[in-house]
Amino acid sequence: MRLINRRPSRPVAVLLAALPFVLIVIAYMIGSDLRLAANPQDKLLPAPSTIWDTAVRLFTEPDKRSGRILLWADTGASLRRLALGVGIAAAISLSLGVLIGLLPYARRLLSGFVAVISMVPPLALLPILFIVFGLGEVSKVVLIVIGITPFLTRDLSQRVLDIPHEEIVKAQTLGASTLVIALRVVLPQILPRLISAIRLALGSAWLFLIAAEAVAADVGLGYRIFLVRRYLAMDVILTYVLWITFLAFVIDWALKRLSGKAFPWMGAGL
């Protein structure tokens, strides 16, 4: 039987799915053991038990100076920035996407501009951003917005253009004005696409967040990683990396669920 027609049974499938994770953990343990055997002080690959202890400490023990549990404070601050940045980017790109996709004038005016802007490397603009928007929360949020809005806008305006012309014509024959078409025909139909575009862009959003927090912040997941990098405190870094991975996964999953729940009409397509 061809390999493409062979399907693993249920228990085998579960085993297979777990396998790469198990292998990674084992490889890490061997690497860590080797390095620690050579130098018990080695910080690069701390023993899993050390990571576990550190993780427990980070999640539960409050900071001596401030009395807050830093990891939760960092998580709160970073998630707030992320939510704000992504939210603003979504709002901007939704409006721009509808305008560009729906109005020929707006398309002429903006689509070339957005295409060029999307090629600008936002990290290189960091110094300017900090000057214009200060070193507070604003500049971090703005970096995320600048970083992902062009992508979201291009994606959404393409989706608006993909809406069958027939639907737009039909709406016109029902007497709909441009505004009504935008609000009642186009907007609801690209909302699910907005969610999938956001899911795609979240990776970059995290990247920009971490980069911005590395430069100027006093709380945040990226700030903490950057801070302890100086001491090569890999136990802390790895805990934070795993935690960010987990958060990213949960957010992605939640958005997927939301999309399924909020847009029941997205069945098999028309």
Partner 1 sequence: MSFVTVRDVWKSYDGRPILERVNVDVEEGEFISIVGASGCGKSTFLRLLLADELPSRGAIRIEQGHRAMEPNQERGVVFQRYSVFPHMTVRDNIVAAESFGTRSGWFFGKRLRGARERADETLARIGLSHVADNYPATLSGGMQQRLAIGQALTAQPRILLLDEPFGALDPGTRLAMHDFLTELRARTKMTVFMVTHDLTEGFKLGDRVLVFDKPRWDPHDPGAYGATITYDFDARDEGIPFQTIKEKTHVPVSA
Partner 2 sequence: AAEEKTDFKVAWSIYAGWMPWGYLSDSGIMDKWAEKYGITVEIVQINDYVESINQYTAGEFDGVSATNMDTLSIPSGGGVDTTALIIGDYSNGNDAVILKGEGTVEDLAGKPVNLVELSVSHYLLARALDSVGLAEADLGGVVNTSDADMIAAFAAPEVEAVVTWNPLVSEILSSNPDATSVFDSSKIPGEILDLMVVNTQTLADNPDFGKAMVGAWYEVMGLMAAGDAEALGAMASAAGTDLEGYKAQLDKTAMFYDPAEAVAQAESADLPATMTNVAEFLFDKGILGVNAPSADFVGVAYPDGSTSGDEANVQFRYDTTYMKMAADGSL
**Where on the chain is the footprint of a second copy (CB under 8 A)?**
2-4, 6-8, 12-13, 16-17, 19-21, 44-45, 102-105, 108-110, 112-113, 115-116, 118-128, 131, 151, 168, 172, 177-178, 181, 203-204, 206-207, 210-211, 214, 222, 225, 229, 232, 234, 237, 240-241, 244-245, 248-249, 252
DSSP class per residue in 52-92: HHHHHHHHHPPPTTT-S-HHHHHHHHHHHHHHHHHHHHHHH
Count other C-beta atoms under 10 Å from residue 197's C-beta: 25
DSSP, collapsed to helix, strand or coil, labels residue 96 as: helix
* Shortest spacing between CB 69 and partner 2, in angstroms: 14
- Binding partner of residue 267 among partner 1, a second copy, partner 2, none, CB cut-off 5 to 8 Å per kind: partner 1
Distance CA 210, CA 202 (A): 12
Amino acid identity, position 217: A
Distance CA 244, CA 219 (A): 15
Total number of residues that touch partner 1 (CB under 8 A): 30
Distance CA 6, CA 65 (A): 59
Q: Is 9 in the site for partner 1 (CB under 8 A)?
A: no
- Binding partner of residue 166 among a second copy, partner 1, partner 2, none, CB cut-off 5 to 8 Å per kind: partner 1
Distance CA 263, CA 192 (A): 7
Residue list 180-199, contact with partner 1 (CB under 8 A):
180, 183-185, 188-189
Of 127 and 166, the one with the shorter C-beta distance to partner 1 is: 166
Residue list 248-267, contact with partner 1 (CB under 8 A):
263-267
Query: Considering just the CA atoms, what is the radius of gyration of the chain in Å?
Result: 24
Amino acid identity, position 130: F
- Binding partner of residue 264 among partner 1, partner 2, a second copy, none, CB cut-off 5 to 8 Å per kind: partner 1
| Region binding partner 2 by CB under 8 A among candidate stretches 36-44, 106-114, 165-173, 199-207 | 36-44
Out of 52, 231, 246, 249, the only residue in the binding site for partner 2 (CB under 8 A) is 231
Tokens read off for 262: 């909020």
Distances (CA, A) of 145 to 79, 150, 180, 248, 255: 14, 9, 28, 18, 19
Distance CA 118, CA 201 (A): 13
Contact 237, 228 (CB under 8 A): yes
DSSP, collapsed to helix, strand or coil, labels residue 60 as: helix
| Region binding partner 2 by CB under 8 A among candidate stretches 13-21, 34-42, 112-120, 165-173 | 34-42
Out of 5, 9, 41, 49, the only residue in the binding site for partner 1 (CB under 8 A) is 5
- Positions that interact with partner 1 (CB under 8 A): 1-2, 5, 164, 166-167, 169-177, 179-180, 183-185, 188-189, 263-270
- Positions that interact with partner 2 (CB under 8 A): 39-44, 54, 57, 64-65, 126-127, 130-131, 134-136, 214-218, 223, 226-233
